[in-house]
Structure 1
């Protein structure tokens, strides 16, 4: 279950870096049944929650505007995978946030959950980043707010499902994969008819 929780949070971070971190911080702070690992407890800090909320608002606005969304995606190429590593490490119950001895960090395997989260978020982010300019070009930018809203809703749903009922993450991932396959097929058909 911890793997599913971490996976859902990391994939959600690939869609929007700040949603899963904010959900984790708020859940750890206000829900008795969510206890973040000690090394990740900083996510519950009111200042961190406030900063995440401000960054989330900026990302939501930037991601709705054609061309600005593409620039934002380039900037987020570092942020989203990092957030995915943090989210997976937190969701998987890892205690790897503080590295006092880098040699023991790598020899103990403590880096593995963070690396898995980075890879999951990066993969999700790259699909999003590559699809967005195509969608903007083929729809004259009208798709940007619609697709961005769908991504934000998916990120919230995956984050909440990962915390409350991790088995639902499998359904969410299946839905995202199905959506991606259908979108690619439609683009190929549209390209052939042009």
Structure 2
């Protein structure tokens, strides 16, 4: 059960930032005793691979802080984030971590399904993020972009670490983040409707007089 929670949390983290969980697993496996990746995913701790992921992460972090560019980035990441979610779900759930010491039964249950589940899980926070960001940018004149992006990056890092060490706590944090994203999206949509209503009323008033 813990291996499934670890995989789910890692996949959700990828929905916020595609590269943080992949790089995080590689770093934790190579430089700590917290993660031991299975043979099929050992490439994540390769130096060249981590270097490339680090560069991609830097680009993602910078681009995601600018309004308009962040929305374009979200469109491009519609493929990357779910793909990353599928990979980290499979890799994380099959890893030997401090919380999961016998993932063999999970791995033997099928090699494709963990990836499919990870893709679906990653799509949820990605979709919430992609829908909410443009609305927030319009309502705040772009001021929300860097703050929101930084919070999402911090949440992704926290999810990766907790997923490896204390998966149940990570799951609770994930639930909190999903609720926060949903509430933020609903408030942003309500504010946009209110603004449109005010603009419509302002346009009608002069014509009536």
TM-score, normalised to structure 2's length? 0.82
Alpha-carbon distance in structure 1 between the residues aligned to 2:34 and 2:157:
19
CA distance in structure 1 between the aligned counterparts of 2:30 and 2:75, rounded to whole angstroms: 32
> How many residue pairs are counted as aligned between the two chains?
181
Is the 8 Å Cα contact of residues 136 and 188 (structure 2) preserved in structure 1?
no
Gaps of 5+ in 2: 96-108, 196-209
* TM-score normalised by length of structure 1: 0.88
| Match of residue 29 from structure 1 | 30
Q: Paired residue for 2:114?
A: 113
Corresponding residue of 1:158? 159
Equivalence for 2:5? 4
Report the alpha carbon displacement of residue 191 of structure 1 after superposing the two structures with TM: 4.3
Higher alpha-carbon Rg: 2
**1:50-107 deviation line (CA, Å, top 9, x unaligned):** 011010000000000101101111111111011000100011107xxxxxxxxxxxxx
Gapped runs of 5+ residues in structure 1?
95-107
C-alpha distance 90-144 of structure 1, shift in aligned 2 (>3 A): same
CA apart distance, 1:193: 4.0
| In 2: Cα distance, 1:117 partner to 1:19 partner | 15
Is 1:146 the counterpart of 2:147? The answer is yes
Deviations 1:126-150 (A, max 9, x none): 1111111111111110000000000
Displacement after TM superposition at 1:177 (Å) = 2.4
Q: Show structure 1 runs of 4+ deviating over 2 A.
A: 184-194
In structure 2, C-alpha distance between the alignment counterparts of 1:134 and 1:18, rounded to whole Å: 25
SS in 1 for 2:182: helix
Q: Distance in 2 between matches of 1:170 and 1:149?
A: 21
CA RMSD of aligned residues (A): 1.5
Distance 1:188 1:17, change over 3 A: closer
1:30–1:149 distance in 2 versus 1, CA, 3 Å: same
Please report how far the alpha carbon of residue 189 of structure 1 lies from its aligned counterpart in structure 2 after TM superposition.
4.3
Q: Aligned-pair distance for 1:114?
A: 0.3
Does the residue aligned with 1:50 lie in a helix, a strand or coil? helix
